[in-house]
């Protein structure tokens, strides 16, 4: 286990500080749909803190949650062409997630495990 918990705690703290800075910067900049903006910012912060976990499938779940909050932010608060930008972002994110899932399934099929520390010891 070692210092992994400390690394995760430092990441979570830095994500929380980053979110407070985002609120401070956007305090006067966001004029329309303020509630929706801060709700999606809260969902994004929760997903970022969840991303600091070490299990791969919880990482994928929180990555999906973060992508959904980004799509909502693009669609609700963005400028002109926001629907096009949200759909494009969603499609690129979906393609990357599917590619990562295919890679993980291939790794599981060839090596029999997804334990990256065990895989590092065998190579």
Hey, which bits of 16-97 come out as E strands?
none
pLDDT of residue 52: 66
- Does the pLDDT value for residue 7 go beyond 60? yes
| Position 5 confidence tier, pLDDT thresholds 50, 70, 90 | low
Q: Please state the rounded mean pLDDT for residues 36-53.
A: 78
Interatomic CA distance for residues 100 and 57, integer angstroms: 11
Between CA 112 and CA 89 the distance in angstroms is 33
- Please compute the mean of the pLDDT values over residues 3-13 and round it to a whole number: 73
Q: Which of 10-24, 57-71, 73-87, 106-120 has the lowest mean pLDDT?
A: 57-71
Count of domains forming the chain: 1
Decide if 67 contacts 44 (C-beta within 8 A): no
Tell me which residue of 94, 93, 123 sits closest to 111, measured CA to CA.
123
Cα–Cα distances in angstroms (integers) from residue 107 to residues 41, 93, 104, 122, in the given order: 34, 21, 5, 14
Whether 38 has a pLDDT exceeding 70, the answer reads yes
pLDDT score at 3: 65
* Mean pLDDT of all residues in 21-49: 83
55-93 residue pLDDT tens: 666 666 777 777 777 777 777 776 788 888 888 888 888
Q: Under a CB-based contact definition with an 8 Å cutoff, are residues 65 and 50 in contact? A: yes
Q: What domain range includes position 30?
A: 4-122
Share the mean pLDDT of the chain: 79
């Amino acid at each position: 286990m070692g210092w992994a918990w400390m690394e995760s705690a430092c990441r979570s703290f830095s994500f929380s500080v980053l979110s407070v800075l985002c609120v401070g910067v956007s305090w006067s900049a966001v004029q329309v749909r303020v509630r929706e903006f801060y709700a999606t910012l809260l969902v994004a912060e929760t997903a970022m803190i969840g991303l600091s976990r070490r299990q791969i499938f919880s990482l994928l779940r929180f990555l999906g949650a973060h992508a959904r909050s980004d799509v909502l932010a693009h669609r609700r608060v963005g400028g002109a062409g926001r629907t096009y930008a949200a759909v494009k972002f969603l499609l690129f994110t979906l393609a990357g997630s599917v590619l990562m899932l295919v890679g993980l399934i291939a790794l599981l099929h060839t090596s029999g495990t997804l334990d990256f520390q065990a895989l590092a010891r065998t190579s």
